[in-house]
Amino acid sequence: MLLTVDLERLDVQPGEILLDAGCGEGRHCFGALERGARVVGLDLDLDAMRPAAGGLRNRGRELGNLGGMTQGNTFHLPFRDETFDKVICSEVMEHVHDFTAVARELARVTRRGGMLAITIPTATSEQLYLRVGDDYFESPGGHIRIFRPRQLALGLGRAGLATRGVGFAHALHTPYWVLRSIAQLPRADESRLVRAYRLFLIRATGSKWATTLENILNYCFPKSLILYAEKPGPRRADAGA
């Protein structure tokens, strides 16, 4: 399973309640569920969630656990304050204008002492895509900003969150998006080279040699950056209960 967030580094524990805000097809939801967490996925795009929602619910039942998805907006999360032990928000912030407002909502629903993992595309990879074509940023639903890590960390700080660490991921996907940008995104799937590289990525998923190679290349040109943050304060006694 291709995950951006390192769930071990996020310290996802059995019985904890985890929110994946902007879950899409639910990759992190399934990963956290397998680690014993009770999982809620949320996304504005109902069509993106629909294929995975039933599978997540059924897998949760098999494990005797909660696995569910709901439609919602990260600017107005439909949850009470301090509901979740862990929160993931992957590849969302680059799509919204007021990312600090999203961070405040994520902080609001996170329990004191809880951890968050926020991922964004790296500025290096984004600049590279921009140099080879405009479609990556001009396509509907595309990115509206190129983030610097400090910019995101300061936004999390304004929301009351303390950055505790940083990670990088998906170096093997950087060339894929370069190829798609060169091939012009609206017609990229017509490119034989794009299709061939995508097949390579599919076959490489989960293989030890590809994981080792990508871990090395993540020091050079990662596609994604992950900030691990904490909501300061004493952890509630009922956390995870």
pLDDT, tens digit, for every residue of 94-129? 988 899 999 999 999 999 999 999 999 999 998 888
Would you say 177 and 201 are in contact if contact means Cβ atoms under 8 Å apart? no
Q: CA-CA distance, 42 to 177, in Å (whole number)? A: 26
Averaged over 192-219, what is the pLDDT?
A: 92
Name residues whose C-beta falls within 8 Å of residue 2's C-beta, 6 or more positions apart in sequence: 27, 170, 205
DSSP state of 190: G
Q: Residue 86 has what pLDDT?
A: 98
Q: Assign 185 a pLDDT band (cuts: 50, 70, 90).
A: confident
State the pLDDT at residue 17: 98
Q: What does DSSP say about strands 17-21 and 38-43: parallel, antiparallel, or unpaired?
A: parallel
Three-class HEC string of 117-168: EEEEECHHHHHHHHHHCCHHHHCCCCCCCCCCHHHHHHHHHHCCCEEEEEEE
Structural fold of domain 17-230: Rossmann fold (3.40.50)
Q: What angle do CA 145, 151, 154 make, to 5 degrees?
A: 140
When pLDDT is cut at 50, 70 and 90, the band that residue 137 belongs to is low
Count of all residues that appear for the chain in the document: 241
What average pLDDT does range 170-197 have in this prediction? 90
Confidence of residue 48 (pLDDT cuts 50, 70, 90): confident
The pLDDT, as a whole number, for residue 237 is: 57
pTM of the model: 0.91
Mean pLDDT (whole number) for 166-178: 94
- Average pLDDT of the residues in 223-232: 97
Q: Is the dihedral of CA 165, 35, 37, 92 positive or negative?
A: positive
β pairing state of 224-230 and 110-121: antiparallel
**Residue among 48, 124, 192, 90 nearest 200 (CA):** 192
Q: Across residues 176-189, what is the average pLDDT?
A: 86
Q: Is 228 helix (H, G, I), strand (E, B) or coil?
A: strand
pLDDT for 140: 61
Res. 241: pLDDT tops 50:
no
| Angle at the Cα of 30 from the Cα atoms of 25 and 34, rounded to 5 degrees | 175
In order, the DSSP letters of 44-56 are: S-HHHHHHHHHHH
In this structure, what token pair is assigned to residue 113? Answer: 């002492």
